[in-house]
Protein backbone atom coordinates (compact mmCIF):
# COMPACT_ATOMS: atom_id res chain seq x y z
CA UNK A 1 0.00 0.00 0.00
CA UNK A 2 1.31 3.42 -0.94
CA UNK A 3 1.76 6.01 1.82
CA UNK A 4 -0.20 9.23 1.44
CA UNK A 5 1.74 12.46 1.30
CA UNK A 6 0.92 15.20 3.76
CA UNK A 7 0.01 18.28 1.70
CA UNK A 8 -1.17 20.39 4.63
CA UNK A 9 1.96 22.51 4.06
CA UNK A 10 2.30 22.06 0.32
CA UNK A 11 5.29 24.32 -0.31
CA UNK A 12 7.51 22.04 1.78
CA UNK A 13 6.78 19.17 -0.63
CA UNK A 14 8.07 21.12 -3.65
CA UNK A 15 11.53 20.21 -4.95
CA UNK A 16 14.02 23.06 -4.63
CA UNK A 17 14.75 23.19 -8.37
CA UNK A 18 11.19 24.30 -9.13
CA UNK A 19 10.32 26.18 -5.92
CA UNK A 20 10.64 29.65 -7.51
CA UNK A 21 8.23 28.75 -10.29
CA UNK A 22 5.84 27.10 -7.79
CA UNK A 23 5.81 30.27 -5.68
CA UNK A 24 5.17 32.49 -8.72
CA UNK A 25 2.28 30.31 -9.92
CA UNK A 26 0.84 30.05 -6.43
CA UNK A 27 0.96 33.83 -5.97
CA UNK A 28 -1.13 34.21 -9.14
CA UNK A 29 -3.64 31.48 -8.27
CA UNK A 30 -3.98 32.72 -4.68
CA UNK A 31 -4.64 36.29 -5.87
CA UNK A 32 -7.26 35.13 -8.37
CA UNK A 33 -8.97 32.87 -5.82
CA UNK A 34 -8.97 35.63 -3.20
CA UNK A 35 -10.62 38.07 -5.61
CA UNK A 36 -13.02 35.78 -7.46
CA UNK A 37 -13.39 32.48 -5.59
CA UNK A 38 -12.51 31.40 -2.04
CA UNK A 39 -9.85 29.77 0.14
CA UNK A 40 -11.06 26.26 -0.69
CA UNK A 41 -10.29 26.85 -4.37
CA UNK A 42 -6.92 28.37 -3.49
CA UNK A 43 -6.04 25.26 -1.47
CA UNK A 44 -7.03 22.96 -4.35
CA UNK A 45 -4.95 25.06 -6.77
CA UNK A 46 -1.94 24.84 -4.45
CA UNK A 47 -2.35 21.07 -4.18
CA UNK A 48 -2.50 20.67 -7.96
CA UNK A 49 0.54 22.92 -8.35
CA UNK A 50 2.49 20.75 -5.87
CA UNK A 51 1.49 17.62 -7.79
CA UNK A 52 2.72 19.18 -11.04
CA UNK A 53 5.96 20.32 -9.39
CA UNK A 54 6.68 16.81 -8.13
CA UNK A 55 5.82 15.04 -11.38
CA UNK A 56 8.72 13.69 -13.46
CA UNK A 57 9.51 14.74 -16.07
CA UNK A 58 8.59 18.09 -14.57
CA UNK A 59 5.94 19.83 -16.70
CA UNK A 60 6.38 23.14 -14.85
CA UNK A 61 9.93 23.45 -16.15
CA UNK A 62 8.53 24.86 -19.40
CA UNK A 63 5.96 27.55 -20.01
CA UNK A 64 5.08 30.88 -18.43
CA UNK A 65 3.78 31.12 -14.88
CA UNK A 66 0.68 33.02 -16.05
CA UNK A 67 -0.25 30.22 -18.44
CA UNK A 68 0.22 27.56 -15.78
CA UNK A 69 -1.84 29.56 -13.26
CA UNK A 70 -4.65 29.95 -15.79
CA UNK A 71 -4.60 26.24 -16.62
CA UNK A 72 -4.58 25.22 -12.97
CA UNK A 73 -7.50 27.49 -12.07
CA UNK A 74 -9.42 26.36 -15.13
CA UNK A 75 -8.81 22.69 -14.32
CA UNK A 76 -9.96 23.08 -10.72
CA UNK A 77 -13.01 25.08 -11.82
CA UNK A 78 -13.89 22.59 -14.53
CA UNK A 79 -13.57 19.70 -12.11
CA UNK A 80 -15.68 21.29 -9.37
CA UNK A 81 -18.18 23.49 -11.21
CA UNK A 82 -18.31 21.51 -14.42
CA UNK A 83 -17.93 22.80 -17.91
CA UNK A 84 -20.55 25.53 -17.46
CA UNK A 85 -19.68 28.34 -19.86
CA UNK A 86 -21.93 30.71 -17.92
CA UNK A 87 -19.39 30.92 -15.08
CA UNK A 88 -16.03 31.56 -16.70
CA UNK A 89 -15.13 32.98 -20.05
CA UNK A 90 -12.13 34.26 -21.97
CA UNK A 91 -12.48 37.74 -20.41
CA UNK A 92 -12.30 36.40 -16.85
CA UNK A 93 -8.65 36.91 -15.95
CA UNK A 94 -6.50 39.08 -13.68
CA UNK A 95 -4.36 40.87 -16.21
CA UNK A 96 -4.90 43.66 -18.75
Summarize pLDDT for 43-87 with one digit per residue, the tens.
999 999 999 999 888 888 889 999 999 999 999 887 665 555 555
pTM exceeding the 0.85 threshold for the entire prediction: no
- Please report the pLDDT score of residue 52 as a whole number: 92
Cβ count within 10 A of residue 78: 13
- Please report the pLDDT score of residue 96 as a whole number: 43
- Please report the pLDDT score of residue 2 as a whole number: 46
- 30 or 94: whose pLDDT is higher? 30
Q: How confident is the model at residue 11 (pLDDT cuts 50, 70, 90)?
A: low
Whether residue 33 contacts residue 14, with contact meaning beta carbons closer than 8 Å, is answered with no
How do the domains of the chain map onto residue ranges? 17-81
Q: How far apart are CA 7 and CA 71, in angstroms?
A: 21
| b/e code 48-70 from CB counts within 10 Å (16+ = b) | bbbebbbeeeeebeeeebeebbb
Amino acid sequence: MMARRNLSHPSTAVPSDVRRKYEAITALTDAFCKQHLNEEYAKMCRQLTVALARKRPMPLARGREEVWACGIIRTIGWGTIGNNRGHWGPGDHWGP
